[in-house]
Structure 1
Amino acid sequence: MAVRVNWRQSVAFTGTVVKYLAVAMLVPLAIGLLYGEDVVVFLFSIGIAVVIGLALERLDDDPQLGAREALLFVALAWGAVALVGAVPYVIAGYGTESTLRYPVNALFESMSGFTTTGATVLGAISLERHSHALLMWRQLTQWLGGMGIIVLMVAILPEAAVNGAQLIESEAPGPELQKLTPKIAETARLLWLFYLGFTALYVAILIGLHYAGMAPNMDVYNAVAHGFTTLPTGGFSPQADSIAAFSPAVQWVVIPFMLIAGMNFALFYLLVQDDYVEFLRDRELQAYLGANAGMIVILWGFLFTGSAPPLELGGVTEGALENSLRQATFQVASLLNSTGYATSDFAQWGTTAQGLLLFAMFIGGSAGSTGGGVKVVRWLVVIKAIRRQLFTTAHPNAIKPVRLGGHVVDEEVIRAIYGFTLLYLLTFGVATVLILLDAGRVGLEMTTLEAVSASLATLGNIGPGFGFLGPFGSYLDFPATSKLLMVFLMWIGRLEIIPVFVMFTGAFWNE
């Protein structure tokens, strides 16, 4: 059969993305010049990115991408930025005791950054060994990946805007693309403006807390660093103790911004248009906020009463009203939308509390948000479709469409959501078994809960798991084969599985 996909076009567009990644590296280069650290590392990395990008661009100069070329381009672009993004880690770690000097570890950290997963191979000691510049690059990768690298390209590059709708639909989280304006490039710019605006506001508040004496160690560097990882629901922190390193005032400020990051950014366009009623009537938003509120109340009850032993729950003292409420609110908001920050070691909490948090990890953020996971809207459709099936079983002659927010959900969309959810759960289950088998192969002691959380945390782009993968733990002890599997899980999880898996079928490549 003849090959239908023009892979040269896709690879050439990938070269453009890699070339512009060098522009992003100017930020850590500036930090390096400021602190006198790792300047050469980023000069070399910028040079490598430019050379690779220009070389790939020469493969084709046709700006028109078909539907299949667009899918291939998006998948390749995310893989390429992770590979090139790992270069500074390897160069900076070469000849040192850093775990990042090993290419597999560097690739793991880079893919975790760009996909906003937040899983890390760096422990507390490893973090201290790295420069301000390298750690800021680590933070910046999450900010670039949060709203989407391809969305950014569509917003700023005319040649990408030609195929913008196809590209964004392949990259954007959720079952459908919501256009805010007739031109897709304008929609991309609006989404990035909202994203940038919330990031700037968040950083300004953190800096304000610092100068008001309410956050002594939240200096400008830390404020910017956490600004780069909160709105993208990333979870990386230059501090080994994550958000637990900062005052309760900082922790309370982080919570609403994590919740905002898990909302559909297209909804904020309604606020700009003064359409507050339609904003509040959005069914997915109601479900997302309701799920957060309900789980916060339940977890707070466990922590406050001490009904989920031990009594000293990883930093939460039984009977401490503000402490237990803050910890419950923070961890639910962090894990439900896949941010992955932590204010206490929930890996040390009782099994009841851990079970609730594991359930939260399955839910995910909203479609069109920066959050990971299955997404709230998919669960809503699945639940309504199951209810419809039960009803029509009892009433075979009834015609009962699935409605969401007063609108009928197309049957093709329902089938697509069923297919995605089943494939997501199947991939999660198979990956869990493979992780357990690989751990047994090398003699790594691991419980089933730890393997489950490792699979879910990487596929759902969540980050921390349970046991030694807890919020202050690390993925370093996994064998290289498991790390590469998890790199794959992070990659397909960010692109919502199907756009990647379809490329492994013969129907994609052939007439």
Structure 2
Amino acid sequence: MPWRVDWKASVALLGTGLKYLAVTMVIPLVVAIVYTEDIWVFALSIGIVTTAGYVLERGDADPDLGPREALLFVTLAWLMAAVVGAIPYLLAGYGTASTLAHPVNALFESMSGFTTTGATVMGEISTEQHSHAVLMWRQLTQWLGGMGIIVLMIAILPEVAVNGAQLMDSEAPGPSLQKLTPRIAETARVLWLIYLGFTVVYVGILYGLHLLGYAPNMNLFNAVAHGFTTLPTGGFSPQADSIAAFSAVVQWVVIPFMVIAGVNFALFGQVLQGEAEAMLENSELRVYTGAIAVLIAVLSVVLVRGAAPPLELGGVTEGFHENTLRQAAFQIGSLLNSTGYATADFAQWDTNAQIVLLFAMFIGGSAGSTGGGVKVVRWVVVMKTIRRELVTTAYPDVVKPVRLGGSVVDEDAISGIMVFTLSYILLFGFSAVFIALDTSRIGIQLSVLESVSASLATIGNIGPGFGRLGPFGSYLFFSDASKLLMVFLMWVGRLEIVPVLAIFLSAIEN
């Protein structure tokens, strides 16, 4: 069956999106002016992106999106956001020895930012090597991608809001995104206001700790920078040592906000509407918080038994101490919902501890959160579906629907979840093999754990892996072929695989 799509409508609306993306570059431009660094980089970037937006926008004066056009628009929007997001990196690196002067590296860093993955090829991360403005743009890309650039466009652009329901279905992180109001544009605005509110509160607390003397190096720049990457579960930091660069008090403050970022933001909207019981009764939230609590307890026991090197070597205090609990809580809170921050080099921990962390990486955040991964609700449905099949196999006459939160899950939804989960596992597995073989081709041998974590960390939008890819490591040593595969994995991982693969399949069949 031919695949017909009004691609001009999708591209024209994409041009509108690019114009507004150019507006966000004003923030790093202001930072550049304050620090008198790379002013021309962001002034020129704004001009280039704005011009490109106007040119694309002229392709269709009155774009109207059907289901296929919406699908194409969402996939192109995320891809083009990464492409234009790489422009400041390329301009800033032009004529220098910066790793970001290479187009593939710049695209990798940009895609990692917008998809909130947090994997980096930047090399040395410091304000001595990169300007404050470039580092702030790197942080800002994650904040923009966290709640979703399409959701933001629905919230502020009337021409996009007309097709808002279709677009949110294509972009929303998880099987569904609950409407908080009758109008989808209002729902988008509520979600972004909640997201913004948490960010402002978080930045205020971090900077307040600095003013009170509990966080000497958490100045305003660092507070805003980390505010831009915690709530979106991004994990980028302008500090080479990530959150390990800050005091224990800061680390304890970061933990609950990472956990909050993995909660369905629609639940916070319901609480604001006076429906607090919705959060208490939500089965996915109970599983999510329960999984975090159990894994923290397990990892704490593993660490007490000597899974990490001594404190002076970047590990934990011997025996059970505050440091042990903090490291366990931080790493689980960071990796389970794909934030990717670190307070210790867990790549140096033993196999038992790394297996616990690898298991946490597979879980993911809640549907409707900014967290990556498979998502808790999908695992719940998968497990209940498996249990149902076992029961009906033993008792063929039994009718046993899959229930979630007291409601019966539609069979089409179950089918979609099973397709996504299987596609996720297959794509993850094939990519791990390709990365291992391609890296061996260039003379670098990766361990099985490193290959697996490279694939999982990118398709799950997690960021750090194990070995060379640890929280203080880099993806720079990979070949361009492997980096481009990881760019693809980050892209399809953020869009939950199916929309992108549907576009490719439809184009091939056509």
TM bin (shorter chain): over 0.9
Distance 2:303 2:28 in 1: 40
Matched, 1:468 2:468: yes
Q: Call closer, same or farther: CA 1:247–1:374 in 2, change over 3 Å.
A: same
Residue of structure 1 in register with 2:480 after alignment: 480
Give the structure 2 partner of residue 457 of structure 1: 457
User: Which residue identity lines up with residue 329 of structure 1 in the other structure?
Assistant: A
Aligned pair count reads 509
> Separation in 1 of the partners of 2:508 and 2:172?
20
Alignment correspondent of 2:217: 217
Distance 2:224 2:506 in 1: 46
SS at match of 1:124: coil
Distance 2:174 2:142 in 1: 19
Which structure 2 residue ranges, 5 or more long, are not aligned?
none
| Distance (whole Å) between structure 1 residues aligned to residue 62 and residue 107 of structure 2 | 31
Report Cα offsets for 1:264-310 as digits up to 9, x if no partner.
0000022112322221110000000000000000101111232x265
Q: Is the 8 A contact 2:99 2:123 kept in 1?
A: no
**Inter-partner Cα distance in structure 1 for 2:58 and 2:131:** 35
Query: Partner of 2:418 in structure 1?
Result: 418
Residue of structure 2 equivalent to 1:442: 442
User: Structure 1 stretches (4+) deviating beyond 6 angstroms?
Assistant: none
> 1:148 matched to which residue of 2?
148
Contact residue 63 and residue 160 of structure 1 kept, 8 A: no
Q: Distance in 2 between matches of 1:403 and 1:176?
A: 16
| Residues 214 and 406 of structure 1: CA distance in aligned 2, closer, same or farther (over 3 Å) | same
Work out whether residues 502 and 508 of structure 1, in 8 Å CA contact, stay in contact via their aligned partners in 2: no
Q: 8 Å contact 2:146–2:370 — kept in the other structure?
A: yes
Query: What is the TM-score with the length of structure 2 in the denominator?
Result: 0.98
Distance 2:500 2:3 in 1: 18
Instruction: Measure the CA separation in 2 of the matches of 1:34 and 1:256.
Output: 32
1:403 maps to amino acid: R
* C-alpha distance in structure 1 between counterparts of 2:32 and 2:309, whole Å: 44
Equivalent position amino acid for 1:242 in 2 = S
Alignment-derived partner of residue 401 in structure 2? 401
- Partners of 1:274 and 1:294 in 2: CA distance: 30
Do residues 160 (structure 1) and 160 (structure 2) align? yes
1:114 and 1:141 in contact (8 A); partners too: yes
**Structure 1: gaps of 5 or more residues:** none
- Which residue pairs with 1:116 in the alignment? 116
Q: Distance in 2 between matches of 1:507 and 1:98?
A: 37
Corresponding residue for 2:24?
24
C-alpha displacement at 1:125, in angstroms?
A: 5.5
2:345 and 2:428 map into 1 onto residues whose CA distance is 24
Matches within 5 A, 1:124-139: 124=124, 128-139=128-139
**CA contact under 8 A between 2:74 and 2:170: conserved in structure 1?**
yes
How big is the shift at 1:320?
Answer: 4.8
Aligned-partner residue type, residue 208 of structure 1: G
User: So what's the TM-score if we normalise by structure 1?
Assistant: 0.98
8 A contact 2:119–2:474 mirrored in 1: yes
Other-structure match for 2:263: 263
SS of equivalent to 1:128: coil
Q: 1:454 to 1:35 in 2, by over 3 A?
A: same
* Structure 1 residues 509 and 204: CA distance shift in structure 2, 3 A: farther
Q: CA deviation at 1:200?
A: 0.2
Which whole-Å CA distance do the structure 2 matches of 1:138 and 1:17 have between them?
A: 19
Alignment partners' CA distance in 1, 2:457 and 2:91:
28
Instruction: Measure how far apart 1:3 and its partner are.
Output: 4.9
CA distance in 2 between partners of 1:413 and 1:55 (Å)? 39
Q: Which residue of 2 aligns with 1:495?
A: 495
Separation of aligned partners in 2, 1:177 and 1:383: 21
What is the aligned-residue identity percentage?
69
- Rounded to whole Å, the distance in 2 between the matches of 1:209 and 1:31 is 22
- 1:295 alignment partner, SS class: helix
Between 1:62-71 and 1:362-371, the stretch displaced more is 62-71
State the distance in 1 between where 2:57 and 2:507 align: 27
Q: CA deviation at 1:316?
A: 1.0
Q: Does structure 1 residue 287 correspond to structure 2 residue 301?
A: no
Give 2:488's aligned amino acid. Answer: F
